[in-house]
Amino acid sequence: MVSCRNIERLEDYKLLSRYEGSSRKEMRKSRATSLEEAIDQAVKKVPGGEFLMNVKFYKIKRRRNPKRQYFAASGDVWGMETEVAFKRLKVGDKVTWNEMFGPKTGSIVGFKDDVNCIIRSDEGRVVIKKMDQLIKIE
């Protein structure tokens, strides 16, 4: 287990996501210059994430600049199950957003990470939108 935060031993933490940060694409994107940054990047991808279990660390060297090294962390993200996202939105909220042919509406069904929401539009499509593009409607 590894974390960069204080963990309450009496809390009932749940497994939120398995093998977070373990794909090659995610590792290549990592720009963490320390292990602490790598841990934070992996944990913050999952809303409610607090710590990693079954952790692996990777040292990444770039071909363009082999002297520069980056780190990546992967593992199971544990935390508190929460319906509330980081930016005032929660599962079930009705939202609207603009698209090329006019405004669309839908309901939030989940969160991909701390930036993107998964929305089921009123037309039945499932779309992913950034939270800052959404307006909550009542």
Backbone angles phi, psi at 137, to 5 degrees: -115, 150
Q: Using an 8 Å Cβ cutoff, are 90 and 52 in contact?
A: no
E strand or H helix at 61: strand 49-61
pLDDT higher than threshold 80 for residue 95: yes
Q: Which residues pair with 136 in a beta bridge?
A: 95
DSSP letter assigned to residue 132: G
3-state helix, strand, coil in the chain (%, to 5): 15, 45, 40
pTM > 0.85: no
pLDDT of residue 9: 82
Q: Enumerate domains of the chain plus CATH numbers.
A: 14-79 (no CATH), 94-137 (2.30.30)
Structure tokens at 123: 């037309």
pLDDT of residue 85: 47
pLDDT confidence of 82, banded at 50, 70, 90? low
